[in-house]
Structure 1
Amino acid sequence: MIKIKLFTALALSLFLNTCSEQKSKIEIEQSINSEKKPEEHKQNPYNNERSLFHSVIHDQISQVVRTIFQDSKGIIWFGTQNGAFKVVGDSLIHIDKIISESGKGVTIKEITESKDGKIWLGHSDGISSIDGDTVRNYYESDGLISNDVWSVAADKNGRIWIGTIAGVCVLDGQEFTTFELPEGQADATRGISSAKMVHSIFEDSNGTLWFSSNAGLFSYANHSLINVSEKAGIETNFVNEIFEDKQGELWVSTKKGLYHLTENKAENITKGNIETGKGIGSIAEDKDGNLWFVSNQHYLYTYDGNELIEFQPSEDNKGPVVFQLFKDQANRLWFVGFGGAFRLENGIFMNVTKNGPW
């Protein structure tokens, strides 16, 4: 039986200090509700706490950091509600040329790198590529299936896969082609959803592509598309992402729990052990091989293969409402989301602002 250990009780919900400095409560809720990760817990006793960030709010990379990525050169990228940033030396640089077709700024939701070294970003108004100092933006007018992009992945053959609110398309370097996935259902608990929404696209170490969608989890290899949710026994079609650990084991975050996928059989390791609420979100692995994941957007857990441990920081050790967990090339764990970007250093959340520390 898996034991559950409760470390310290603390919610990760964050409210802001003054109307002049920050968003209203309604705007905050709208920002959180539009995320692809599980949303705010329906009842959190700490929701009325003042934000940790009232004293440093102007120094945050962004009030909402949706994603983080490190490329093959070691450069760290942040995708935020205020566009894309990268760290160059000790400086944080904003990428100004990523814009909508009407010339407005965008919200970055996913970042990846293709085998030719280009950086690809999926955002609220299409996708963009960065090649050195050259930025190219792609929209529906270029053949993209939808401008509302939620995921982007580059496969080993150099193709760019784009998951949108209207399904999947693939860019082969010349043109966009629609890739047909079964239609599911819109998730009524999310602020933004659709029957064709694709939350994550991932290529594993064997070259198999995985699609996490509102119709379930699908694998694609050798021109064969398989409904893994149906075959492996995943009890919900609302799938958020799939993660491959350093041993090649696959883990699936869903609305009804975290699944361990082995030999086409899915085991729900959280069922009956933790409250998943609206679902499991982002997954990462630390240097010791422990899994970290988000439940109901507010609660962090670790799993060492035997025990589930709830990790909630103390009153003087707060992190963000987590949208993504990420391990960088130096084996440091990052936590980004509503409230900014943080690293976990010796059990302490270090606030990483526009000035670092990097």
Structure 2
Amino acid sequence: MTMKLSFSIYPLIILLVLTVLPLSCNSQDKNKAVQVTIEKEKPKGEQIGEYVVETFQDSKGYIWFGTLEKGIAKYDGNTLKYLTTNDGLPSNRVTTVVEDDLGNLWFGTGAGISKFDGKTFTNYSEKDGLCNNLVSNLFIDSKGIFWIGTWGGVCKFDGTQFEKFQIPYPKIETTINPDTKDWITTISEDKNRNIWFGRDGYGASKFNGNSFIHFTTKEGLNSNNVQSIVEDKTGNIWIATRVAEKDNADANKRFGKGGLNKYDGQKFNYFPEIEGLNESDVFTIYKDNSSDLWISTTSHGVYNYTNNGFVNYKVPTSTMTFLEDTKGNIWLGCAGGLYKIKQNGETINITTNGPWK
């Protein structure tokens, strides 16, 4: 599928070809954030992928790494094995993974979705009714509804048929990038079973099963370009956004609001005192097994929000995905490869040669 780049290539770059950014060594304000800076020399071996955009642990304990160019890699605790188009995947671009209640894995790819039963792949694309082949996220909610987010909107899937799910377009005041106006960047569910959709240009939309509530800059978001939505353990909704102005064709005008938002049900709160979380891009928010949050930045590593404070880890590249495994290790899928934060705070680069332990 050919994608237009007539308006701006920036939104495509952030997902398809993220630039590896060097990090500043400036220390954080100790009253605002604790900084952890430990990194070992990179081990020999090839990177798991140039862009690792998904990390997932299945019910058997296997860890999966989705890449934009090498298919998906499976680590079973002893060996690393890649599955690609040669094995039956429809595309070597794998951006999202979910597991259903039968133990099947579903992969969102650049050419549709694929069900993997451990041996064979069953592939679905636009010709089967999928709303768009370029899949951005998969989500199975608490009712068992299978949601598929794409660069062409949302659809639901019952295992046989696809149903287009239309999200209304709220009235906004910012310029829309026509290349990404239907890009569904994230799908999540809160404790009240509301489904949240993030869109690149139309903010966040909450669906209660009957109607929508939209959150845009008019309601207090610092940007309508939403990348991630997560509910914390106390019911606050955290929303990651990017700087919409970076779509501007004029390089001198690519500055504006973006970053991290916290919605408490009445108002939005921001974090201008934390480097990288305001007037910048935040792509990913992840809730770990302890319900603490992990937050990515483009040039200030990652933050762990725990005990009402931010702990900063200096990861030397942009992070796109997090995973806490059953052993308590934090895996970071990044532009530039795979990293892991061990329980002692050590940050290490994981290549095809490890170190895995």
Once the two structures are superposed, what CA deviation does each residue of 1:192-216 show, in whole Å capped at 9, x if it has no partner?
9511111111123443211111211
Match in the other structure for 1:296: 298
User: In structure 1, how many angstroms separate the alpha carbons of the residues matched to 2:264 and 2:351?
Assistant: 40
CA deviation after TM superposition for structure 1 residue 240, in Å: 0.5
Structure-2 change in CA distance of 1:186 and 1:295 (3 Å): farther
1:92 lines up with 2:80 in the alignment: yes
Q: Please tell me the root mean square deviation across aligned C-alpha atoms, in Å.
A: 3.3
Alignment of 1:222-241 (within 5 A): 222-229=209-216, 233-241=220-228
Q: SS of the residue aligned with 1:36?
A: helix
CA distance, structure 2, for counterparts of residue 217 and residue 32 of structure 1: 17
Task: Percent identity, please.
Answer: 29
Candidates 63, 66, 69, aligned match of 2:56: 69
Q: Could you tell me which residue of structure 1 aligns to residue 263 of structure 2?
A: 261
TM-score (norm 2): 0.75
Deviations 1:188-240 (A, max 9, x none): 6xxx9511111111123443211111211111223222213478532321111
Residues 55-106 of structure 1: per-residue CA shift (max 9 Å, x gap): 6342x22222111011223221110121112222411222233433xxxx42
Mapped contact 2:21–2:318 kept (Cα < 8 A): no
AA paired with 1:282? Answer: T
2:117 to 121, 131, 135: 131
Compared with structure 1, are the counterparts of its residues 56 and 42 closer, same or farther at alpha carbon in structure 2 (3 Å cutoff)? closer
Counterpart contact for 1:297–1:322, Cα < 8 Å: no
Secondary structure, aligned partner of 1:35 = helix
Q: Does 1:343 align with 2:351?
A: no
Distance 1:117 1:42 in 2: 38
SS at match of 1:281: coil
**One-letter code aligned to 2:128:** D
Aligned length: 310
Show the counterpart of 1:56: 44
Contact 1:38–1:297 (CA under 8 A) maintained in structure 2: no
Give the direction of change, closer, same or farther, for the CA distance of 1:186–1:285 in structure 2 (3 Å limit): same
Uncovered stretches (5+) of structure 2, i.e. residues with no partner: 1-8, 26-39, 243-257
Note closer, same or farther for the CA distance 1:186–1:155 as it changes in structure 2 (3 Å cut): farther
Contact map agreement 1:277 1:296 (CA 8 A) in 2: no
Contact 2:299/2:317 (8 A) holds in 1: no
CA distance in 1 between counterparts of 2:76 and 2:310 reads 38
Residues in 2 aligned to 1:352 and 1:32: alpha-carbon distance in whole angstroms:
27
Residue 176 of structure 1 corresponds to which residue in structure 2?
162
Indicate how the Cα distance of structure 1 residues 208 and 169 shifts in structure 2: closer, same or farther if over 3 A, else same.
same
Q: Which of 324, 329, 332 does residue 326 from structure 2 map onto?
A: 329
User: 1:243 maps to what in 2?
Assistant: 230
CA distance in 2, matches of 1:149, 1:186: 24
In the TM superposition, 1:169-208 aligns within 5 A as 169-183=155-169, 193-208=179-194
- Choose which of 188, 196, 200 in structure 2 pairs with 1:210: 196
Deviation at 1:309, TM superposition (A): 4.7
Q: TM-score, normalised by structure 1?
A: 0.75
Question: Which secondary structure does the structure 2 equivalent of 1:292 belong to?
Answer: strand
